[in-house]
Amino acid sequence: MSNVLEQARKISIPARQEQEKIGALAEKLLGLVKKEATKHPDVVSVELGGSFAKGTWLKGKLDLDIFVKMKKETDEKQFENIGREIGFASMKKFHPYVRYSEHPYVEAVVEGTKVNVVPCYDVEKGQWKSAADRSSFHTRFILEKLDEQKKNEVRLLKKFLRGIDIYGAEIAKEGFGGYVSEVLIYHYGSFMKVLEAAANFAQGQVIGSPTKKFETALVLIDPIDSNRNLGTAISAQNFGKFILAARAYLKKPSLVFFNGKKPIPDTKNLQNVLVVKFDYKSRSPDIIWGQVKRGTTALSGQLELGGFHVLRKGATTDEKSEAAMLFLVHSTAIEKSMVKNGPDVFRKSESERFILRNSKNKLTWVDDDGRILSLQQREFYEAKKFLQSILKKNLSKAGIPSGIIPDMKRSLRVLGGNQVTSKSIKKALAELTSTNELIFGSSK
């Protein structure tokens, strides 16, 4: 196991040359932002944050966060406008664009490094006005609590989470973010101790001291804000994957857990996949991911109501112009008829209405419990035709978010899993139709 960890450290911890290169880039970009910030009296200071400032960034993987702190009296509209102006002006040579969290911020890619210029308020601890206000407190906390050895333990944990594909707190992933990784090392002390704890996590596992009850798969309290549950961003599915991956690694350590293993689609399962594909007009990746995921959940519910059992569902977008909702169903064709349950015979008016409504059905009878049942022909017994019918009707009634309805009306197609040619959708199909062998072991 120690040999595996040594190899993992080599691919997780940036070499001195890389650290120096990134350090120089960070100072250069920080200077550009500071220069623009001086033009705005509302700005109190500009500082580096995130994994770079904390010294926990992964080798070859860094998002550089620059926080623009403003006076707490700055109103929200002005706050957003100043943040955008400084971001665009400072990053103008690097094709900046807007991203959205609670508030919009500016992002650019500079020398292969993603740079975020994020506005926040200059507030006292606990007096938060925006979600980003905690960031400088997070940085100070981690710098105080983690020495260099523990920072490298954070890197091991991050690499492991990337390897099993559950790293990232954004809505696209709903996994374990960088700060979550740091807090876990703070609580348990090392990468191995985190895995040993995770292997025995209980349902609704609580880490930290909450001041109220939280209903999430994992409750992980922010050390600088006892009212904030970091586990809110983590899906129950990804929490489960983490527990199983921890058990699998402890049983049989391997560098593959850190490097990852590309999923290979199961062609047999592809036959039972339906894909609702559409093109969308440009918008923030955070927004389109949320819309597509909500649409996927809504259509999954519609399929279940139609009698098609959804085994797994997924959403994907290339974050440019293409999106898709994916459904692995138990069977793409079901029985042509179905039994409709009616009231018991003692409910006179309800019984009469049920009999009248179902008078033309194939068969109506009273069962052994005194309930009236009726056998009727299904309108749709093929999943693809059922979905096409749902999507031709009122999309809002089907639960599709209003923001993507115009896009779907203009360009949607319902495809079988074997008909997909798009690279981004194929990747999502591979994840949907394959067994994660890192977690469940090789069974093929």
Burial of 113 (0-12, 13-18, 19+ CB in 10 A): middle
- The per-residue pLDDT for 443 is 39
| CA 372 from centroid of its chain's CA atoms | 45
Cα gap 145→154, rounded to integer Å: 12
350 domain residue, yes or no: yes
Q: Retrieve residue 435's tokens.
A: 């067994």
Q: CA angle, corner 14, sides to 11 and 20, nearest 5?
A: 160
pTM of the model: 0.91
Whether residues 82 and 214 share a domain: the answer is no
Number of domains in the chain: 4
Domain stops at, among 209, 241, 259: 259
Buried b (16+ CB within 10 A) or exposed e, 128-148: bbbebbbbbbbbebbeeebee
Whether residues 373 and 292 share a domain: the answer is no
Whether residues 306 and 350 share a domain: the answer is no
pLDDT tens for each residue of 320-374:
999 999 999 999 999 999 999 999 999 999 999 999 999 999 999 999 999 999 9
Average pLDDT, stretch 377-387? Answer: 96
Closest CA to 132 of 62, 53, 70, 210: 70
| Average pLDDT of the chain to the nearest whole number | 95
114 domain residue, yes or no: yes
Which CATH number do you get for residue 57?
3.30.460.10
Whether residues 409 and 271 share a domain: the answer is yes
- The per-residue pLDDT for 442 is 46
Domain stops at, among 243, 259, 275: 259
pLDDT tens for each residue of 269-318:
999 999 999 999 988 888 999 999 999 999 999 999 999 999 999 999 99
Residue for token digits 């702190």? Answer: 69
pLDDT tens for each residue of 34-66:
999 999 999 999 999 999 999 999 999 888 999
440 domain residue, yes or no: no
Whether residues 180 and 242 share a domain: the answer is yes
29 domain residue, yes or no: yes
Whether residues 185 and 235 share a domain: the answer is yes
Which CATH number do you get for residue 425?
3.30.70.590
Contacts of 336 (CB under 8 A, 6+ apart): 377, 378, 381
Which CATH number do you get for residue 243?
1.10.1410.30
Whether residues 356 and 275 share a domain: the answer is no
140 domain residue, yes or no: no
Q: Given a cut of 80, is residue 416 above it in pLDDT?
A: yes
pLDDT tens for each residue of 105-120:
999 999 999 999 999 9
pLDDT tens for each residue of 180-197:
999 999 999 999 999 999
Whether residues 249 and 282 share a domain: the answer is no
- The per-residue pLDDT for 283 is 86
Whether residues 280 and 400 share a domain: the answer is yes
Residue numbers of the domain that contains 349: 343-377
Query: pLDDT-derived band of residue 444, with 50, 70 and 90 as boundaries?
Result: very low
Average pLDDT, stretch 101-108? Answer: 89
Identity (one letter) of the amino acid at 373? L
Whether residues 297 and 424 share a domain: the answer is yes
Residue for token digits 């890389």? Answer: 18
Cα gap 372→162, rounded to integer Å: 55
Identity (one letter) of the amino acid at 204? G
396 domain residue, yes or no: yes
Whether residues 215 and 166 share a domain: the answer is yes
How far from 309 is each of 312, 313, 328, 331, 372, CA to CA, in Å?
9, 11, 9, 7, 25
302 domain residue, yes or no: yes
- The per-residue pLDDT for 1 is 67
- The per-residue pLDDT for 328 is 98
Whether residues 393 and 365 share a domain: the answer is no
137 domain residue, yes or no: no
